[in-house]
Structures are given as structure tokens and as C-alpha cells.
Amino acid sequence: MSAPFFSVLLPAYNAAEHIGNALGDLLKQSFRDIEIIVVDDGSSDGTADVVRRFNDRRIRLISLSTNQGLVGALNAGLSEAHGEWIARQDADDRCRRDRLDRQRNLIGKTPGAVLLYSRARLIDERGWWRGTMRPPKTDCELRWDLCFRNSVPHTSAVFPTALVRDALNGYAGDNVTADFDLWSRLLRNGVDVGDESSLVSYRNHAGSIMGKENAGTAKLSNAGVARILEENLQEWAGAGSEMAGRISAAWLDPSIVEWKEYFSLTEQLVALRPTLSSALIAEEDYSLMHRAAGVSGECVADMLCAMKSIAPKRYKALPQPRTLMIRVLNRF
């Protein structure tokens, strides 16, 4: 039997409530040359029993005796993959019927592609829409974006199996930094391409992988994130090491930022990339403002005042309705 084109890598921990829908979506894909590797990461809620109810030879279940965490589960599944390409999906997420077909076609149209991804609908526990993740579509703009934040929905990602497993030694880091680290390493070996359609729905709730990441952010070691940001800033944005350190520090802890310095430094980098979309830069500024709002209303006010003074075009380009909402919620 020949190897499948895609190995869908689906880690699951206590995912009995949602994994049936995730598997149903994958089994209904219009592109059928796939295997689905479910890694049950020591679940105690009957996740494996739900998986076993599906009578389809394309599903392979790997059961880990103890919980290894997301990185351990991903690498366990990666080691067993037979497909030429890995397609990621989380056990509580959904995908469109044409997801893999569209991504297979993009692979064929993009020589040197090592990372494919799409936009993602954000949904809550009930499946209700909460927003949209909008990563850049082009290689140039994604590299720039990865200098400031990780905007690629992990559950939408596709990448070459052999490159990640054999050359890059799989996933590394912790549950929050693992995908950010992998995208950065991948893009030093080829190019990326995004689909502007939302091919996946990313569930964000207290029990989801995304929800757990958000809840635990403050407890994570920032050293891994700082390293990724600083390396990307130096290689892809043209920052020196000191500049990269100052910019990454602003994203890691907005409470300590001297905002006029931050905007002066980033304006220097923006000037080196005149073709960058103003909408992309505005989304990054908005993301940082949202982080500042988590500190205090005063922190956001200081940021906006500095932006208006140092980078007035960026201030005007901010998504104004959302900016106003944050200002109202923080009462300034």
C-alpha cells in the first residue's frame, strides 16, 4: 500500500466531547488520500473509546500511557507518520470539507513551500463565532509578522514530514512556543503560502489547547519567546541585536515599555520595508495594544499618545472601532 499524501496529526487530551466532530470533518474531506493519526495523550475521559467507534482504516490511534503534554504527543505522532506532508488539527477544532484539497493544490503551485496555513474562525465552547485569525498571506509579510507575534493558526498548518521529523528533529519548546519555534525554523528552509479563506475553526475555551495557553501565559518562561523574536527581528527585519532585544521586551512585558522609544525603533524597521501592508502593521499595533490593555488603561493611553506623536500614520491606521471599544472598556 502506497504512503498517503497527508498524515493528519491530531493530539488529544480529554477531548471526548469534541473529537468526534473533528474526526467527522476529516473523514468527509474531498481529498481522501490521507491517514489520521490520533495521539491519545493519557486521557481519562474515554477519548480513545470515541475514536474506536469510527470504522475507517485511515484512522490510526496511538495511546500514550501517561500525559506527555502537547509537544510530546505531537512528536509521538510525527514519529509514526507515513504521509509525505503533515496536516495539523486539534481535537476540538473543525475544518471545511475542502481544506486539504485546497492546501494540496497550493503545494503544487508553490515550489519550495515548507509551511502552508489559512485564516481561522475563532469559536467558543458552543461553536459560536468569536472572531477571525488573519495571518498574512505572503511569505514576505509572514516573516515580518513573525518578528512580533505568532499569527499562524497551528490547527491550519501543513508542512513536509521528512523536513520536520528528520532534519529539524520535530517540535521543541513548551506548549505555547512550540509552533512559533517550528514556523521560524521551517522558514529558514523554504517559503510559506497562506490561504485567505478560513479553512478551519479554532475553538477557544478554558479546556482547549488555545485556552490553556492563554490562561498560562504569565507562568511561561519568556526566554524561549524572546529568543525567537530576537532571531527573527535580526534576520528578517534588519534589526541589530540591541534593537531586537528592546522590541521583543515590549511584546513580552508592555508594563515596562518606554513607548516613544518603541515606536521610534519600529519606525526605523518599517522604513526598510516600504512595500509592507499598512493593514498588517495596524493589526500588529492593535495586538500589542490589546496586550497593553491587559496591564492597565493607563498603559494603553501612554501607548496611543506615543504612537500619535511618533508614528501618526500608524495611529490613524489602527482598527478604530475596536480601538474605541478598548478605550471605553478601560475608561479613558
| CATH 3.50.50.60 fits domain 6-218 | no
Over the chain, what is the mean pLDDT?
91
The pLDDT tens digits of the residues spanning 183-232 come to 999 999 999 999 999 999 999 755 554 444 444 444 456 889 999 999 99
- Tell me: pLDDT of 61 over 90: yes
Beta strands 6-12 and 113-123 are: unpaired
Residue 154, pLDDT score: 96
Residue 216, pLDDT score: 47
DSSP code at position 219: G
Residue 213, pLDDT score: 43
Beta strands 85-88 and 6-12 are: parallel
Q: Are 61 and 40 in contact (CB under 8 A)?
A: yes
Residue 160, pLDDT score: 98
Q: Where do you find CATH 3.90.550.10 in the chain?
A: 6-218
Q: CA distances (Å), 182 to each of 63, 72, 88, 176, 262, in order?
A: 24, 14, 13, 11, 27
Bridge partner list, 133: 120
- Tell me: pLDDT of 234 over 90: yes
How far is residue 22's CA from residue 20's CA, in Å, rounded to a whole number? 5
Comparing CA positions, the residue from 194, 196, 192, 189 lying closest to residue 113 is: 192
Residue 210, pLDDT score: 45
Q: Are 244 and 233 in contact (CB under 8 A)?
A: yes
Bridge partner list, 37: 9, 60
Residue 332, pLDDT score: 40
pTM: 0.91
Kindly state the percentage of the chain with pLDDT values over 70. Answer: 91
Residue 7, pLDDT score: 98
How far is residue 21's CA from residue 123's CA, in Å, rounded to a whole number? 14
Beta strands 158-160 and 85-88 are: antiparallel
Q: In the structure, what pLDDT confidence band is assigned to residue 1 with cuts at 50, 70 and 90?
A: low
How far is residue 264's CA from residue 271's CA, in Å, rounded to a whole number? 11
The pLDDT tens digits of the residues spanning 63-110 come to 999 999 999 999 999 999 999 999 999 999 999 999 999 999 999 999
Kindly state the percentage of the chain with pLDDT values over 90. Answer: 82
Comparing CA positions, the residue from 143, 160, 102, 153 lying closest to residue 123 is: 153
Sorted by sequence, the CB contacts under 8 Å of residue 279 that are 6+ apart come out as 317
The pLDDT tens digits of the residues spanning 288-328 come to 998 998 999 899 999 999 999 999 999 999 876 555 555 44
Beta-carbon count within 10 A of 284 CB: 20
Sorted by sequence, the CB contacts under 8 Å of residue 320 that are 6+ apart come out as none
CB neighbour class for 206 (10 Å; exposed up to 12, middle 13-18, buried from 19): exposed
Beta-carbon count within 10 A of 309 CB: 12
Residue 297, pLDDT score: 87
- Tell me: pLDDT of 37 over 90: yes
Sorted by sequence, the CB contacts under 8 Å of residue 82 that are 6+ apart come out as 3, 4, 7, 35
Residue 219, pLDDT score: 45
Q: Are 134 and 119 in contact (CB under 8 A)?
A: yes
